[in-house]
Amino acid sequence: MLAFKTSVWLRSFWRQNARRVVAPSSSSSSSSSSSLPPIGWSGQQRRLAGHSKWANIQHRKKAQDNKRNKYFNKMSKAIMAAAKEGEESVNPRLRSLILEAKRSGVPKDNIQKAVDKGLNAVNGQGDQFEEVVYEGYGPGGIAVMVETLTDNRNRTPAELRHIFDKNGGNMSGSVSWIFTRKARIEVPLLTTEYDGDDNANKPEAKDEDDSVEMEGKALSEDEIMEISLSLGAEDIEAHEDIRIAEVFCAPADVKEVQNGLEEAVGASLGFQFVAIPNSKILLASEDEIEQFTRFLEAVDDQDDVQTIHHNAELGE
């Protein structure tokens, strides 16, 4: 005990008196002594600060790279599962996933490897993934449906159940009745309809970084609505900020609607199956929004998760 108290006293004494020590004068006869920096304000301390800043940059870059690689892996798994249904030429789902992967920057080699693995899996070779949907309630009683691709039906639900429980939710009960299944097709949206001689009516310039790169001819909202409704689509949502329009239709009608829109724009268009909530629950407070956002991030971080559907409406 005495040794402990003495050690504590010595450390306290050193901290108090170290600040009083100053660098020796440059006129000192000892060249080695004159080169010593002041204690408490040292070049070593500056180097450490620089190292810490570099470490933080490296940490952020590593986190971004990990997030990107995780997305690439999830896209590869989705392509592998879709490829089991046949080649791209006769497989609209596979074609849509490949389009999405290319737009998202997934390397071509990764895409081709995923396609090959999926085609081999048809013959019982390679990885075997199952598409499984898990349902439950997140924090705040929000209905949640989680679509997964898993090769282990024991591991995936156990990990998801842990995430739900840890974040104030529970993975029990069915919530699929709260959602309606739709197909969503993205179409390039024309947002520069104005008279070139009338600058007063010219729309504000869009940020190119926010737009979505899509091939084909961009159509106006009215053109998209007219074509889509004639093909059997049910709803349209235009997003001028990112220059796309979302066309929603019944899953059974997706092929006809997709083909008609592709003919209109002159390019291939992808589609996704989505679950649209019939009713929503408003999360108004910052605490509720933050808690639910952390929950979504934790679920999405699970390796087998592909898509998350929920009926939360996040307040501003």
Asked if residue 28 has pLDDT above 60, the reply is: no
pTM score? 0.68
Residue-wise pLDDT tens digits, 248-302:
999 999 989 999 999 998 888 888 899 999 999 999 899 999 999 999 999 999 9
Predicted local confidence at residue 191, as pLDDT = 78
Which residue matches tokens 């074509």? 227
Are 147 and 304 a contacting pair, CB within 8 Å? Answer: no
> Which of the listed ranges 90-94, 112-116, 248-252 does the model predict with the highest average pLDDT?
248-252
Residue 20 CB coordination number (10 Å): 8
Please, what is the Cα angle at 117 between 156 and 90, to 5 degrees? 105
pLDDT at 123: 62
pLDDT on residue 205: 36
Average pLDDT over residues 60-88: 80
134 pLDDT above the threshold of 90: yes
Rounded average pLDDT over 73-99:
86
Q: Which pLDDT score, from 0 to 100, does residue 278 have?
A: 94
* H or E element in which residue 305 lies: strand 305-310
Percent of the chain with pLDDT over 90: 39
Give the pLDDT mean for 105-123: 84
- In this structure, what are the phi and psi dihedrals at residue 175, rounded to the nearest 5 degrees? -125, 5
pLDDT band at 56 (very low <50, low <70, confident <90, very high): low
pLDDT for the residue 126: 60
| Residue 144 and residue 175 in contact, taking contact as beta carbons nearer than 8 Å | yes
- The residue among 179, 178, 151, 177 whose CA lies nearest residue 274 is 179
Residue 132: other Cβ atoms inside 10 A: 14
